[in-house]
A and B are shown apart, each in its own frame.
Chain A
């Protein structure tokens, strides 16, 4: 329509984004049911964990009643879901503190680590992706391909082990565990985070770089690129002004996947560097079978994943004129 007003031009995308948001919420509720069901399936229950083997049946029944475990699972599920929704996912069985307190202590650490790794690895991933896309099939591209293929498949503990050996054991440059002092100077801050960021970065750079390469190459094969080339557009302008804006959708999508990896996938890295983040908190919850804490952590990770995918979808819808017609 030629005379579309600004409002009607955005109505299509707005409806599409609203639909995606609704779908994400439904998925989140389904995910919560899956997590609650699985973690409630175990033969023993929380009261047994607290009391241990020696408790009498009466004590056991009393505690079960006190903890509300004698009520039907469906009732407990909805109460738990309501708790999650209002930010109170219950009491940790092991630490005897509200789960919300424990998580809010750890969450900033995870966000800092994920944020720094993003700042470090996304630009490099773009460099790798663009460099190999424009040299497609040539030596540079093939070398980068082999490199990123290998990097994707490396176990994090190997990368971390090598980093510790090189930077803290041999060169004595960096500490082998991540302790951030109170009120750190910028130097102290960067020194503390350098190794976990590097180790996490290896996987992200490789994965994201490969996906950026694929997204750019898919665009390079389109007629408009040929047209721009024939017009004499410089290669740099071709990539940055013509190709990248069109590849935003898939690139943002792969960024969402990589970032969600940073959130939950940091498990190994947090453990190796004794970094107090959410992922190592969840591992502790598994070891001590602290189910309320475990369920809450799992929900945080799933919600983050769905949120990132939703943001990526929204950006893709807004950036793509064809989808905007919605």
Chain B
């Protein structure tokens, strides 16, 4: 797809899709340049007043220690977006890799992989993540891996059904008869034709991952201080709930705008194709 093609596609989106796309682009930009445009260092006690409201100096007020909420949000977004993107990329690579292996490999490989994934999918994802965190702890790298592994089975299930369907088609049979190897079948014949529905699944899984990561951080089991993602910011400031502090509302709304944005974009993009 060319750049012009993408722009044309974006123009044709319904309003909800355009809003979703705008939110997604906004958060990507924030994740990339956020820390550089933050008015204060995220750890500095910039304001003497705690849980201050919005002012010209502190757009989103101050938190429970008097730190600038906007600055902390701008650096927290990088963790939320970045870690989730890496996690979803790992989850999709493993899940789809297994799915392609199952589709073009011998039957017993498919059986084995499908049984294993069916077992893992019977463990609710939050519960699975909790068991993994309890066993391994939650350093930045481990947390990313844990969240990725949690969503491998879901991606495998979708990708396998797509890949198996394609692998049975005549053109793949022809390629097989031509003597192409399994790697060629998987990567050249099958994968390119399942990319679009696969991207829709990856987008949804990204939403789940953002929610899981923020949820874990909110419970104190996710990212550990001094690092703070958007979920940690909500957790830190729960004592401000009774006074309706911006410090707790702003990061929660930030997460919601990211996940809702992705959801709206995927919904609009996939519906456009159906008609």
Residues of A within 8 A of B (CB): 27-28, 30-31, 34-35, 38-39, 41-42, 145-146, 149-150, 152-158, 161-162, 164-165, 169-170, 176, 260-261, 263-265, 267-268, 271, 282-283, 285-287, 289, 291, 294-295, 297-298, 301-302, 305-306, 309
Asked if B134 contacts A285 (CB within 8 A), the reply is yes
Asked if B252 contacts A35 (CB within 8 A), the reply is no
Asked if A286 contacts B133 (CB within 8 A), the reply is yes
In the complex where A27-B119, A264-B124 touch, is A155 in contact with B130 (Cβ < 8 A)?
no
Alpha-carbon gap, A101 to B37, bound state (A):
54
A-B contact pairs, 9 of them (CB 8 A): A41-B136, A155-B252, A155-B255, A162-B249, A169-B241, A263-B124, A268-B219, A282-B127, A298-B123
Asked if B124 contacts A150 (CB within 8 A), the reply is no
In the complex where A35-B131, A161-B249 touch, is A283 in contact with B124 (Cβ < 8 A)?
no
| Given A268-B219, A287-B221, 4 further pairs, Cβ under 8 A | A39-B134, A158-B256, A286-B134, A295-B131
Q: Which of B233-271 contact A (CB under 8 A)?
A: 234, 241-244, 248-249, 252-253, 255-256, 259-260, 262-264, 267
Asked if B242 contacts A176 (CB within 8 A), the reply is yes
Residues of B within 8 A of A (CB): 16, 118-120, 122-124, 126-127, 130-136, 207, 211, 214-215, 218-221, 231, 234, 241-244, 248-249, 252-253, 255-256, 259-260, 262-264, 267
Asked if A283 contacts B123 (CB within 8 A), the reply is no
3 smallest beta-carbon distances between A and B, as pairs: A153-B259, A158-B252, A286-B134
Q: Which residue of B lies closest to A156 (CB)?
A: B215
In the complex where A39-B131, A146-B16, A176-B242 touch, is A302 in contact with B123 (Cβ < 8 A)?
yes
Give chain B residues whose Cβ lies under 8 Å from the Cβ of A265.
Answer: 124, 126
Alpha-carbon gap, A287 to B255, bound state (A):
24
In the complex where A149-B264, A150-B263, A155-B215 touch, is A301 in contact with B124 (Cβ < 8 A)?
yes
Asked if A153 contacts B252 (CB within 8 A), the reply is no
Asked if B260 contacts A34 (CB within 8 A), the reply is no
Asked if B215 contacts A38 (CB within 8 A), the reply is no
